[in-house]
Amino acid sequence: MRRSGTERADGNLDGRELIRYATLAASSHNTQPWKFRIRKDRITILPDFSRRCPVVDPDDSHLFKSLGCAAENMIHAAAAQGFLAEIQFNPAENSVDVLLSRDATACATELYRAITKRQCVKTAYDGRPVSETELEKLQKAGKGKSVRTILLTSTADKNTVTDFVTRGNIAQLTDRAFRKELINWIRFNPAEAMRKGDGLAGRTSGQPALPTWLAKMIIGLVLTHKGQARTDATNIKSSAGIAVFVASRDDKPGWVELGRAYERFALQATALSICTAFINQPIEVRELRSQFDSWLKLEAESALLMVRFGHGSATPFSLRRPIDDVIVED
């Protein structure tokens, strides 16, 4: 197999292995909007703007959050190889530099071991609560430089979030451009998912496999705001709580920080056998976001991601492209 960068055989860093772990991170619509460049003392995570989603993500904020998710995985994978990783945003190329230096204290942690197990579990959970100790651990994991995590566990709060999500579903699923973009990223059967190695595989959310031509014919009838609202209401009710990631910065470095905080939260949840799944509609629909921020009583901050969490069962993993497809040479 072709190798680039330093390798572990001589005790150095295995850059390809770090990239493999980074690519297991969450990304919006599973677009995997990243490329990686390996240099001696760093790995640079570059945005792949050919994978942007201009309708749901017109300012590329989800894209940069996804780069933050990949960077966070890389930090824990580097520690497992005995390296300390420092993250720097480079505005000149809109990239995230992961600066690597040997560190005698760096070692494999429970968050590292969670990387290969983390997934968004988009099905209903079993309604059991999460303990106070676990909530504290989750909240701590979801804290970053400009980011904090608000945990909502009361029935009243979950009901209000459900209302916002329903309004978001109406706005998004009655918008032709939103539907077209979403459908473009859905992989309707395992063969299509395997061929492309990206996108939203139906089986990860419990949908039956269908031939692509048939799925495209009936998706218009199946994908409705009413149906989605019903599913989301059931899923939120079945969850132990909701985590809202709020930030004082709404710019590229801030989005990267936010993605890191979400990924850390998700890895910590995975380590505790707690599932997570996104419910971002009130954040993605601009008109709703300011109302949502007001409901959360945010002043100098804004809600930038939201997940539900609880106890559930693992679902099939979503796929990734081969790492040779995402490594760029100098």
Minimum distance from residue 301 beta carbon to ligand FMN (Å): 17
Q: How far is the CB of 13 from ligand FMN (least distance, A)?
A: 24
Amino acid code (one letter) for 11:
G
Mapping DSSP to helix (H, G, I), strand (E, B) and coil, where does residue 242 land? strand
What letter does residue 58 receive in the DSSP assignment? Answer: T
CB of 260 to ligand FMN, least distance (A): 11
C-alpha 117/C-alpha 93 separation (Å) is 32
**How far apart are alpha carbons 309 and 27 in whole angstroms?**
18
Report residue 112 as tokens: 């590292």
Residue nearest to ligand FMN (CB): 26
**Minimum CB distance to ligand FMN, residue 282 (Å):** 10
d(CA 32, CA 27): 6
Residues near ligand FMN (CB under 6 A): 26-30, 62, 65-66, 69, 119-120, 122, 200, 278, 280, 318
* CB-nearer residue toward ligand FMN: 84 or 170: 170
Residue 133 Cβ vs ligand FMN, minimum distance, rounded to whole Å? 25
The nearer residue to ligand FMN, 284 or 301, going by C-beta atoms, is: 284
Pick 103 or 287: Cβ nearer ligand FMN:
287
d(CA 95, CA 112): 23
b/e map 30-46, b = 16+ CB within 10 Å: bbbbbbbbbeeebbbbb
**Residue 6 or 205: which CB sits closer to ligand FMN?**
205
The nearer residue to ligand FMN, 27 or 81, going by C-beta atoms, is 27
In contact, 242 and 132? CB cutoff 8 Å: no
Number of neighbours of residue 115 by Cβ within 10 angstroms: 22
| 3 state DSSP class of 308 | strand
Say how many Å lie between the first and final Cα of the chain, rounded.
19
Residue with smaller CB distance to ligand FMN, 5 or 144: 144
